[in-house]
Amino acid sequence: MTRHIQGLHHVTSLASDAQVNNDFFTKTLGLRRIKKTVNFDAPEVYHLYYGDKTGTPGSVMTYFPFPGARSGSAGTGEVSETAFAVPHGSLDFWQDRLSRLGVGGLGREERFGEQRLTLAGPDGDGFALVETDDARTPWRHADVPEQHAIRGFHSVTMRLADKAENADLLRFMGYEDAGQHGAISRLAVPEGNGADVIDIEIAPDMPEAQQGAGSVHHIAFSVEDEEAQTEVRRALLNAGYQVTPMIDRDYFRAIYFRSPGGVLFEVATTDPGFDRDEDIAHLGEALKLPKQHAHLRERLEREHLEPIRD
């Protein structure tokens, strides 16, 4: 396949409480909420997006908060950890801050020579902060000094029963082998957008994961535009993958397919972007509804979408 994949575009996960989810990403981690909309297929549920100032591909963490959803259970066939990039020398700041704010799962480790701080999200979501050289511009948050702020994604870790087929798929998508660390194989896309890395952890003895609050629903890879996406889609179809037709997600165009290890993959375009329906200065403030759900606004706001306090 030609080199259209530029790294991750977004990661989409499940949560049990919109307000708690919002506070964790915008207050604790200091990201910007860049879009407040609803799930296309279940408009009574929010779809919340967090990222840098404009929602640059490779920085965008999104959530479907289903009120009261049961927690997922860890296992194989899922993304076990989403990692964010922070500058070198930032982990002491973050460990102090997160500990003070009562965040669980804090632990320091090293992987591939990189220093990492693990942490758990509000629903037990697996996260890490990884110290790395990263030229991306962070969102400015009052409580997080710019020299420590999150730059975007560093990587995701997929936990699988067997690595072979998924690694082959990633190589087909333009990723290259970048090392082995115990049970973890690293693949990286050359000259990517910063969110370049996929780690594959092999855990043959674990049960299959059960999806629920705190689980990653899917990961999306970034391509420039629809032309690149069409070429990627054609190549995947030719290689035998079952890929959906292109779906318009208002802020990007998406195609989806199931990867061999069980993780749902999406390929999303950079355009048209998150400023297509509101000014950059006010991204994420108003509730935006896809046009097919616009007529539901009054009922959704009255009965389903509890207002989020910023």
Residue 309 Cβ vs Zn ion, minimum distance, rounded to whole Å: 26
User: Which residues make Cβ contacts (< 8 Å) with residue 253, sequence separation at least 6?
Assistant: 226, 229, 246, 247, 268, 269
- For residue 163, count other CB atoms closer than 10 A to its CB: 18
Q: What is the DSSP string of 119-130?
A: EE-TT--EEEEE
Closer CB to Zn ion, 154 or 217, in the complex: 217
Residue 152 Cβ vs Zn ion, minimum distance, rounded to whole Å: 16
Closer CB to Zn ion, 86 or 254, in the complex: 254
Closer CB to Zn ion, 186 or 217, in the complex: 217
Residue whose entry in the numeric block shows the structure tokens 């890879």: 221
C-beta separation of 255 from 270 below 8 A = no
Buried b (16+ CB within 10 A) or exposed e, 182-202: eebbbbbbeebbbbbbbbbbb
Ranges within 121-180 binding Zn ion (CB under 5 A): none
* Choices 68-76, 108-116, 220-228, 292-300; region in contact with Zn ion by CB under 5 A: 220-228
Site size for Zn ion, by CB under 5 A?
A: 3
**Which residue, 246, 300, 290, 274, is CA-closest to 51?**
274
Residue 173 Cβ vs Zn ion, minimum distance, rounded to whole Å: 16
Site string for Zn ion, 175-214 (x = CB under 5 A): ----------------------------------------
C-alpha to C-alpha distance for 139 and 34, rounded to whole angstroms: 11
| Residue 12 is a binding residue for Zn ion (CB under 5 A) | yes
Residue 195 Cβ vs Zn ion, minimum distance, rounded to whole Å: 14
Residue 124 Cβ vs Zn ion, minimum distance, rounded to whole Å: 21
Which of 31, 103, 266, 300 binds Zn ion (CB under 5 A)? It is 266
Residue 266 Cβ vs Zn ion, minimum distance, rounded to whole Å: 5
* Choices 8-16, 78-86, 238-246, 287-295; region in contact with Zn ion by CB under 5 A: 8-16
| Residue at 116: amino acid letter | R
- Residue 64 CA from chain centroid, whole number: 12
Residues that bind Zn ion (CB under 5 A): 12, 220, 266
